[in-house]
């Protein structure tokens, strides 16, 4: 499947979710992505080199990408800008608001690896376990990536869920976005209330 075709359906759906009026002054010249949403890190032709040192925090939620190495994703756009996120949830946000940037490559962790930090693989090589008993990161429904279909099927035997490719996982992420956003907001408010009580 061609990359442009793979993104067409989920990104059209995402555009409806994030559509908002933007003044002309807030746009970049020659593209539609509002300035405030453009990746802030310098252009990087080799984003996987020292990736966690260069991109330690998720730009959308602030979470530590090394701590959530098993869920982190990274998109390398065609203009060499990089968005390195903590999860597929936050990657979905990047892809939705950077509609005018064509991804050069997208990477996901290989949870079949025994390495202490899961290595990143191209999502074209990844198989996802969607749902089941494995906990998600920034989502109520897990979407866990594996470097082979065999590894994903083995995980399914233990954790249940459904097998899918990156397009299926991305579509599931957009379908879950409203519920996940409400869940995250509730958890963060509970954390704020708890911190206020401790401080008081």
For residue 123 the two structure tokens come to: 């999502």
pLDDT per residue as tens digits for the range 104-161 = 999 999 999 999 999 999 999 999 999 999 999 999 999 999 999 999 999 999 999 9
Using CB atoms within 10 A of its CB, is residue 113 exposed (0-12), middle (13-18) or buried (19+)?
Answer: middle
Q: Where are the domains of the chain?
A: 3-199
CB atoms within 10 A of CB 46: 11
Burial-class residue 183 by CB neighbours within 10 Å (0-12, 13-18, 19+). middle
Token pair for residue 76?
């390398």
The pLDDT value recorded for residue 4 is 56
pLDDT at 21: 41
pLDDT of residue 18: 46
Which token pair is 51? 């990736």
Higher pLDDT, 49 or 20: 49
pLDDT at 26: 43
Is residue 15 very low, low, confident or very high in pLDDT (cuts 50, 70, 90)? very low
- What's the chain's average pLDDT? 88
Residue 36: the pLDDT is 82
pLDDT in tens, 19-38: 444 333 344 444 677 888 89
Q: Does residue 3 surpass a pLDDT of 70?
A: no
> Residue 197 has what pLDDT?
87
């Amino acid at each position: 499947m061609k990359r442009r075709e793979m993104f067409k359906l989920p990104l059209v759906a995402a555009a409806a979710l994030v559509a908002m009026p933007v003044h002309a002054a807030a746009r970049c010249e020659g593209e539609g992505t509002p300035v405030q949403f453009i990746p802030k890190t310098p252009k990087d032709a080799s984003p996987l080199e020292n990736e966690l040192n260069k991109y330690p925090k998720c730009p959308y939620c602030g979470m530590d990408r090394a701590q959530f190495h098993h869920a982190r994703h990274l998109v390398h756009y065609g203009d060499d800008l990089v968005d390195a996120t903590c999860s597929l949830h936050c990657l979905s946000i990047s892809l939705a608001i950077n509609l005018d940037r064509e991804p050069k490559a997208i990477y996901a962790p290989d949870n079949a690896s025994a390495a202490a930090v899961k290595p990143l693989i191209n999502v074209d090589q990844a198989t996802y376990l969607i749902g089941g008993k494995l906990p998600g990161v920034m989502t109520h429904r897990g979407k866990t990536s594996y470097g082979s279909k065999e590894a994903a099927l083995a995980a399914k035997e233990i954790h249940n869920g459904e097998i899918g490719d990156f397009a299926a996982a991305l579509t599931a992420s957009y379908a879950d976005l409203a519920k996940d956003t409400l869940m995250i907001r509730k958890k963060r408010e509970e954390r704020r209330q708890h911190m206020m009580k401790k401080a008081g």
